[in-house]
Amino acid sequence: MSTKKHLRSQSKEIIAKVYRRMKYEAEKGVENLSDARWRTAQAVGYSEHTISNILKEERQAGATTSTDIEQKIFKSPSKRKRVSPKSTLDDFDMSVLRRTIMTFHIEFNEMPTLKKLKQILSEKIGFDGCIETLRKILRESGFEWSKTDDNRKALIEKHDIQITNVGSARKEYHHFRKSYRKE
């Protein structure tokens, strides 16, 4: 076969059973052919090498009888989950990111873009992720892109995060105002 296929556990079990049957027939003289591995490969449509690997996996699992094969000794290939270590920032780096975004317009007199933010963050905290990683970090930390009046996009905090941040500042202000009036 030209392309490599990953066999699932059920397919491996069937191939192992076919091999054992072919071997049994070869030993008992039912068939003139004595090479059970080759006959199994011909019957199931896989190479002898694949059949050998399946039988090796079966031997390593310790299953030699047909009753042991029913106990799921073969494992199906599983999908790998990609975890990007660059997409996790500690609290200090996150505060630098927030402060940079909040003061970007004042410091540089222009709107923040992902490319510019990445460049500044690589200088400040040594951020070495790509632009898509930065986009993911911003989305997860509560920022979103909002259209401005001149149809450009501006990076802002999500509304619910603004309310919680402003709410605490507003409470502090009212508490200060009350205590000032009492004096």
The amino acid sitting at 171 is K
Instruction: Determine the pLDDT at residue 171.
Output: 67
10-residue stretch averages of pLDDT, the chain, 183 residues long: 70 83 76 70 82 85 54 72 70 86 83 88 88 88 83 74 56 75 79
* Burial (0-12, 13-18, 19+ Cβ within 10 Å), 137: buried
From CA 155, how far away is CA 87, in angstroms rounded?
19
| Residue recorded with tokens 């047909």 | 66
Element (H, E) at 145: strand 143-147
Instruction: Determine the pLDDT at residue 1.
Output: 44
Q: What is the pLDDT of residues 8-59, one digit of tens each?
A: 888 888 888 888 877 877 777 765 556 778 777 877 878 889 888 888 888 8
- Do residues 120 and 100 lie in contact, with contact meaning Cβ atoms separated by under 8 Å? yes
pTM given for the model: 0.44
